Every structure is written in structure tokens, then in C-alpha cells.
Amino acid sequence: MPHSLVLNLLPRSPIPPGYLTGKHVHALFLSLVSSVDQALGDRLHVNSANKAFTLSPLQVQRSVRHSVGGPKPKTPDLKLQYQHRDPIPAATPCWWRVSLLDDGLFRNLSSLWLNLNPQHPWHLGPADLQITSVLGTPQSTQRWANFSNYEQLYEEASDQERKITFCFCTPTAFRQKSFDSALPTRELVFGSLLRRWNEYSSIQLNEGFMEYLFPSYFDIRTEITVDPRQQFAHTGAVTDPSSQFMGCVGKMTFRIMGHPEAEAIKTVNALADFALYAGVGRKTTMGMGIVRRV
């Protein structure tokens, strides 16, 4: 059962930008896992392929204010901050999205969520963090929290909707042989979703839908960021050009063309809805490739 959990955090001391990279949020997640299951934490650390989770970069909470009788607060946007050039001050409310694709992983971690001690410090570099709450269901002010199961995702997927729009919320790239590609083609985007679905779901889908998919709109750009595995210097500067990572951000629409069977349309829509949990492309366990349907 895929889960998209949002952890609300409160730093007790400033978090330097050098410790807000993918490498360090990845280490924080492994610390959480190891606190309840050391063997599982060790396995996730060693296994570099088919990891059943994704992690967002740390996000600073945006306050939503409105006056009585005034306009309602705007729906929270889906943009995510993926680079921090300044420290996050102490006592700044933050949140962090963790998605889990495998039932077993969620069960193993359930005691962590259920027995959360807000006073227990977790470490992100030199900073101590408090986990104040964990959200696992949709919220009016937090659209990244959700859950479903694979059967429900498939059964509720439309077999008629032919327009699929994705928002690439953090830089997204795909490995092709020995190199990265930042261009989100249908084969790369839906191929990534299909592999992750078939890895963790008992409902196996085939790729026969691919020939009917065509890009119809795109508003994307490339972003050059620091490789999420790279550790910054304490100044936040990066001195090694080879540590840079290029990916795409923005929106892109695919349309289903021709005369596919209803099952093929349903498969496309199920995979598109699954993107919220799975992300696409490389380094999704380090904050990259966070994608969702809009």
C-alpha cells in the first residue's frame, strides 16, 4: 500500500545549508528506520536498487493567513524548494515528505509513527530536530499527505481520461546507459512508473499502452543543482563542477491518441496517479524526481 507521509519538524538549532542536501536527508531517514529496526536500516543502506521509498528535500513551512470575512486562503501550490543557500533558523516550522511503496516497510515503521516522542531529538548534521507530528491523510493545507493501495489505485483509475499532466516538482533526470538525460520522454517517464509499480504491486501491468502516448504540451526547463550525494562545504559552496546534477522541472502533458483498449487507458491513468508516491527517474531517495499528476 503506497503511503505519502508528511513529517512536521521543528529544528532546535540552525540547520546549515550544507546539511540540507539529499545525502543528509537520506541519512536522517535511515536513522529513523534503524531506531525501530536496525537490520532493516542496514539493508536499506546497502541496497542501492529498488528502494521502496522516496524522500523530498526539507521544506520551510509557509504560513497561510486570512482575515475573518476576507478571501479564503489559496490552495497550497505544489512547488518544492530543492536548494537551500541560507541556514534554516532554529524554531522554524518545516516539513518533509516520505513516501513508502511497500506494505512491509510501512508495517516495520508503524511503531515509529504511533509512539512518536516530540521531545526526542533527531540529528541533521549539527542540528537537532523534533518531529512534532506525522500526517498520513489528505489535509486542506497539506496536499502531499495521502495513502491508497494498489488495488484501489487501479480500480479507481479512469478508463476514459486521455489527458495526463505532470508537475516535475524537483529536478528530474533519467539514466540512459552511462549518462543522464533531463528530457522526460514517454518511455522514460512511464517506463520508470511501470517498473516501480510492477516491483511492489500484485497487479502486474504491461507496456502495451506506450505506443498511444504523445506529448501535447510542455512548460519545462532544466535546472542545474548539486548532486544530492555531494556534501557541501560549511559555506554552502560547491567547488567540484562534476558534482552538479542537471534535471528538468515544470509541467508536461501527455495525451492518449488513437484507439487503444479501455484497459490501456486505465493503465496510463493508474500509473499517473501512482506518480505521487513513486516519483520518476533517478535519486528519488535523495529528493530528486518528485513528480505528481495535476
pLDDT digits (tens, 9 = 90+) for 69-92: 555 544 455 789 998 889 999 999
Distance CA 81, CA 60 (A): 8
DSSP 8-state symbol, 247: E
> From edge to edge, which strands make up the β-sheet containing 244-256?
213-226, 244-256, 163-172, 291-293
Distance CA 83, CA 59 (A): 10
Q: What is the pTM of this model?
A: 0.89
> Are residues 48 and 282 in contact, defined by beta-carbon separation less than 8 angstroms?
no
Check whether 227 has a pLDDT greater than 50: yes
More confident residue, 146 or 229: 146
> Are residues 30 and 123 in contact, defined by beta-carbon separation less than 8 angstroms?
no
> Are residues 94 and 88 in contact, defined by beta-carbon separation less than 8 angstroms?
yes
Distance CA 149, CA 106 (A): 12
Check whether 66 has a pLDDT greater than 50: no
Which candidate, 109, 95, 200, places its Cα nearest to that of 148? 200
Phi, psi of 103, rounded to the nearest 5 degrees: -60, -40
Considering only 45-54, 167-176, 188-197, which range has the smallest mean pLDDT? 45-54
End-to-end CA distance of the chain: give it in Å, rounded: 21
> Are residues 12 and 121 in contact, defined by beta-carbon separation less than 8 angstroms?
yes
State the average pLDDT for the chain. Answer: 87
Which residues are 291's β-sheet partners?
168
Secondary structure of 72-87 as H, E, C letters: CCCCCCCCCCCCCCCC
